[in-house]
Chain A
Amino acid sequence: MNKLTIPKIVPGIPRPQGFMTPLKRGAFLRYLGVSAAATGMLLAGCSDDDGDKAPSSVDLGSGDTGILNYAYLLEQLEAAFYVKVIDSPYANMPAEEKTLLMEIRDHELAHRDFFKAALGSAAIAGNVEFDFSTIDFSSRSSVLTTARAYEDLGVSAYNGAGVLLESPDFLLIAGKIVSVEARHASAIRDLLNPFTAAFSGDDVVTPSNGLDQARLPADVLAIAGTYVKTMVVFDNLPS
């Protein structure tokens, strides 16, 4: 069984910014600690609505399929976020920002649909439900800091998952996607802090070795869990 550890703060590798307030984070960690540590489940809240389309839980599965479903889940999260960003743009969104965000939205949608097609019947079924209630879509700062956090998280997720893949073909596909996520992260970071070192900042690229972050699935899902309503079972993923 995949042991779920409470996400630890690695010195010098801060968590992505803009995810959650310290209070919320603490609450989330307790939740994981009490409810999910033994089961390897990611419980980020129960959906009260009947949710015909939304499954009550999804199991990512095992092996390469599990890792691809994990990527599929993360791409669904990113795609749903950017769809909302474009559907309800923050006030006075400059044209060039809108173009950039629309293009990123389309890339994430393409990634999502690619995984769905590639996985076929092995894809996690139904619509995973997301909870974006902590994001203020009318605020440029809220939207862009969330985008930054998602993109940095996505980069770290692919970087950490690559070694778990057995198929060279899937590894290559993951490599083709992760560099695009890194391009997004760089652009979003530059929108927030133009023409500074932030695009590849010391908060994500360790200055002493020039390495970007890499996270294992359990750590990524613990962070992403804030935004995922559907219960995600990931204890069969390779580790």
Chain B
Amino acid sequence: MNLSRIFHAIESIDPEVYERTSNRRSLFNNLTSAGVKAAATIPLIVGSSLKSAYGKGSASVGDVLNYALTLEYLEDAFYKQGLMAEGLIPENRRAIFQQISKHESAHVEFLLGVLDSMDVTPVSKPEFDFTANGMYETVWSNYAVFLTLSQAFEDTGVRAYKGRAQELVGQAALTAALQIHSVEARHASMIRRLRAEKGWITGAQTNGAPPAVYAGEDVTMQGTVNVTGLGYTTAAATQAFDEPLTPDQVLAIAGPFIVAP
């Protein structure tokens, strides 16, 4: 068991997870009364509590979280490399990318911690080629290209989490996944606005990103309701609802950037 990851998971699991964990009270009692002397036993307590919080149906939950981990690995690597590329990100925009990078790294650690606590083997970090074999060969020198890919990854991330939420109905892991999902949407909105676009997606407009990233974003039917039929323009109706992507669609988008799994 990786102790540092478990400790990290203690700090990082949201309070709502504890709310739904039957042994929440005993967990907190244990944590507060255990003290320094008993520190060695805490990871075990927390490990089992996390397992009861996240463990239900853990095969499919683990699968979804590993899927998320792959995407977070990709984003984390992308921003780390971008921040290291000299002269790429303008000085007065670095704070934005440092914040995003911080979150992607935190998402990787968080997911590793949860998977570890569930005794699910995490996927290994893939090797990435963000030039996509030369298609974006100036990604580390041309800020506009970097921004375009950033937007593509963030919007894909939003759509990817959404696409698997239904597999987590009623699960504690759903809340955590939603809490990551909305952060990706905050990022996406900011990156889009840096590109002088709207923070939201209109129709299936790509604005230079691979079209697959926005496939299906132009629907106006939500469940049984046609939103344009309620008196809204197609633009507003499509902006107001973000659409999911299937794992196959996401793989097709991310695949060119993954050299070796």
Contacts and interface: CB of A to CB of B under 8 A. Distances in A.
Chains A and B come from one and the same complex: yes
A199 B240 CA distance: 19
Report, as a range, how many residues of chain B touch the other chain: 35 or more
Nearest to B159: A179
Question: How many residues of A sit at the interface, in one of the four size bands?
Answer: 35 or more
Of B95, B172, B183, the most chain A CB neighbours within 10 A belong to: B183
B227 A110 contact: yes
A214 B178 contact: yes
A205 B105 CA distance: 13
Contact of A195 (B13, B96, B107, B179): B96
Contact of A107 (B107, B193, B240): B240
Interface in A157-215: 158-160, 162-163, 165-169, 171-173, 175-187, 190, 195-197, 199-201, 205-214
B241 A180 contact: yes
A135 interface: no
A10 interface: yes
Given A159-B175, A168-B169, A209-B12, A106 B232 contact: yes
A141 B190 CA distance: 20
Contact of A176 (B174, B199, B222, B230): B222
A103 interface: yes
Contact of B103 (A162, A173, A178, A205): A205
A165 to B, nearest CB: 7
**What is the interface of chain B mostly: helix, strand, loop, or mixed?**
helix
B200 interface: yes
A103 B12 contact: no
Nearest to A187: B199
Given A171-B166, A186-B186, A186-B190, A177 B241 contact: yes
Given A118-B224, A183-B185, 16 more contacts: A110-B237, A160-B16, A160-B175, A166-B170, A173-B222, A173-B241, A178-B182, A178-B185, A179-B184, A182-B189, A186-B185, A187-B189, A197-B96, A199-B96, A207-B102, A213-B179
> Which 8 A-B residue pairings sit nearest by Cβ, starting from the closest?
A209-B12, A210-B106, A182-B185, A186-B189, A197-B99, A183-B189, A179-B185, A211-B179
